[in-house]
Structure formats: C-alpha cells, structure tokens
Amino acid sequence: MITAECINCGACELDCPVRAITPAPSQFRIDPMVCMECDGYYPVPRCQWVCPVSACAPERESYLFKARALTNRGAPPVVLRAAPPAETPAILQGRLDRLQKQLALVTNKETRAELRYAMAKLQWQLGQITDAEFAEIEKFYENFTYEWC
C-alpha cells in the first residue's frame, strides 16, 4: 500500500519494474496482485528505496501468498535478473527535477517541508550543497516535524 504521506512525486511509478504502481484519484497506489516485492529485479523493494517520504509499503502478505501459490504449482525459484542500477547523477537529478515541479503545485506547509527535505537530500548526494548545509537543513526539518507531530 501507499500511505497518506505520499506527495505524488511519481518516482515509484517510474521505477517499479513490473508497473504495479499507478496514479489513483488522490494519490498513487500499488496493485498488490501485480507487485512481487521486486523479487528477481532488486534486492530491496524499489518503491520503498526511491520514495522520498517513506510512503511506499509493499504488502508482504499478498506477495508471500502469490509466491507460495507459484511454488505449489512447481514454478522455478526466482533469481535476480539484474543488479540494481547505480544511482547515477542523471537519475538523482531527474528525481530532483520531478520534486521541484511538484513543489510548485503544493501549498500545504507540511508537504512542502517534506519536499524541500527530500530535495535537499538529493542536492547533498549530488554535491550541490555541503555536508554542513545539509546537516543544518536536517536539524531544521527535525525541529519542524517535531512541532507538527
């Protein structure tokens, strides 16, 4: 499932190897009958990995049910088909650009803070801001989230 924290950035939809994630009326959703927890593609669920606000939570129960059903029918064990792609600067920059577009559409201040924090993290990974600047932003974000919780 995708939780209410989703800020509709679209990163998970683009990265899901089996196209299990689609936009829904209010936010993105995972089709539990299609999701296979990235088994055979990535060592960890890709949507969880790319989501800037930890809103992707693939349903383990559905996946295990499907895996058991397949095993009972004699399906061969799943093997990793590809190593996870490196987080290249182009990939990170693409995510940053998507978040920037999303920021222009959002007015809710908590969501804007989430977006800004996710963007700062990407900028830090890209070397666009220093360790000290990112630490400062992290501190500000922690205090801010503490206030709204």
Q: Is residue 35 a contact partner of residue 59, using CB atoms and an 8 Å limit?
A: yes
Q: Residue 115, interface with ligand SF4 (CB under 6 A)? A: no
Q: Which one of 34-42, 72-80, 81-89, 131-139 is the stretch in contact with ligand SF4 (CB under 6 A)?
A: 34-42
Of residues 58-87, those binding ligand SF4 (CB under 6 A): 58
We find the least distance from the C-beta atom of residue 20 to ligand SF4, in angstroms, to be 4
Decide whether 107 or 132 has the Cβ nearer to ligand SF4. Answer: 107
Strand partners, 120: none
Q: Is residue 1 a contact partner of residue 30, using CB atoms and an 8 Å limit?
A: yes
Q: Where are the alpha helices (DSSP H) in 44-130?
A: 46-50, 60-72, 89-105, 109-125
Q: Residue 53, interface with ligand SF4 (CB under 6 A)? A: yes
Q: Is residue 16 a contact partner of residue 37, using CB atoms and an 8 Å limit?
A: no
Q: Which one of 12-20, 73-81, 122-130, 135-143 is the stretch in contact with ligand SF4 (CB under 6 A)?
A: 12-20
We find the least distance from the C-beta atom of residue 131 to ligand SF4, in angstroms, to be 25
Identity of residue 144: F
Q: Please choose, from the candidates 18, 74, 63, 64, the residue with its C-alpha nearest in 3D space to the C-alpha of residue 42.
A: 18
56 DSSP 8-state letter: B
Decide whether 30 or 122 has the Cβ nearer to ligand SF4. Answer: 30
Close Cβ partners of 25 (under 8 Å, ≥ 6 residues apart)? none
Question: Which of 7, 119, 122, 129 lies at the binding interface for ligand SF4 (CB under 6 A)?
Answer: 7
What residue ranges bind ligand SF4 (CB under 6 A)? Answer: 2, 6-12, 16, 18, 20-21, 28, 30, 35-38, 45-47, 50-51, 53, 55-56, 58
